[in-house]
Chain A
Amino acid sequence: QKEVEQNSGPLSVPEGAIASLNCTYSDRGSQSFFWYRQYSGKSPELIMFIYSNGDKEDGRFTAQLNKASQYVSLLIRDSQPSDSATYLCAVNGDRGSTLGRLYFGRGTQLTVWP
């Protein structure tokens, strides 16, 4: 059973603050890690992916990966009300036919208040 765990939240931060979203996964063989944003009533939208240990920055978003701890996080700097959404963490399968499968956490709901 591959498990991806996220804090269910809700997480509430003021505008301009840093929002920190966390995710742990059970499968040591997973190599690819993804963050999706999902607005209410909409489909998931890919915002970040990371394959190597360390940090990856894209604008206001930073993904952090620590494979030894089986932990991946997403930092949102200078949070805006438009960042209010549910954030889904996903990891890929670790072998053979499951390599292309993604296993999703249940998501963390983020609210950024003005």
Chain B
Amino acid sequence: NAGVTQTPKFQVLKTGQSMTLQCAQDMNHNSMYWYRQDPGMGLRLIYYSASEGTTDKGEVPNGYNVSRLNKREFSLRLESAAPSQTSVYFCASSSGTGGYEQYFGPGTRLTVT
């Protein structure tokens, strides 16, 4: 089991460019999440998908869109990147029932210049 995988690991964008961060899980989890982590700010939820076919905004959704492609995959899209979106992005998944513990992918380090 690979758990939660994310691509790419690193990315540099110019302001205004777009890109999609990919996330996949092989744990048959129902729920998936996208976070960003900035120094001193902790983990902040961008969007989440409680189950296949649903998505909801988290704490900091502006400038992002998401797609729950199927039960395994949850992508995050930056339509027009801004320097303020420079961050480390983590995808996580959970079964969505019971204890709600989340398991994280290795992260994508994004720099927007």
Tell whether B50 is near chain A: CB-to-CB under 8 Å: yes
Q: Which of B11-19, B36-44, B63-71, B79-87 contacts A (4 or more CB under 8 A)?
A: B36-44
Question: Does A101 lie within 8 Å of B45, measured CB to CB?
Answer: yes
Interchain nearest-CB distance for A49 vs B (Å)? 5
Residues of A within 8 A of B26 (CB): none
Q: Which residues in A have their C-beta under 8 angstroms from that of B75?
A: none
| Size category of the binding interface on chain B | 20 to 34
What chain A residues lie within 8 Å of B105 (beta carbons)? 43
Inter-subunit contact B94/A100 (CB<8 Å): yes
Q: Which of A9-17, A71-79, A104-112 contacts B (4 or more CB under 8 A)?
A: A104-112
* Size bracket, chain A contacts: 20 to 34
**CB-nearest residue of chain B relative to A102?**
B102
B50's nearest neighbour on chain A, judged by CB, is A100
Distance in Å: Cβ of A110 to nearest Cβ of chain B: 16
B106 contact set on A, CB distance < 8 A: 42-43
Q: Smallest Cβ distance from B33 to chain A, in angstroms? A: 8
Residue A32, interface by CB 8 Å: yes
Min distance, Cβ A102 to any Cβ of chain B, angstroms? 6
A86-114 contact mask (Cβ, 8 Å, vs B): 1 or 0: 00101010000101111011110000000
Q: How far is the CA of A102 from the CA of B41 in the complex (A)?
A: 15
Q: Contact: A88 with B43, CB < 8 Å? A: yes
Interface string of A43-69 (1 = CB under 8 A from B): 111100101000000000000000000
Q: Is the CB of A44 within 8 A of B90?
A: yes
A45 to B104 Cα, complex, angstroms: 7
- Please tell me which one of the listed residues B31, B42, B43 contacts residue A100 in the complex, with CB atoms under 8 A apart: B31
> Residues of B contacting A34 with CB < 8 Å?
101-102
| Given A34-B101, A88-B42, A97-B56, 5 more pairs with CB closer than 8 A | A32-B99, A32-B100, A44-B90, A106-B42, A107-B42
Closest 4 CB pairs of A and B: A106-B42, A43-B104, A104-B43, A92-B100
Interface residues of B (CB under 8 A from A): 31, 33, 40-43, 45, 48, 50, 56, 58, 90, 94, 96, 99-107
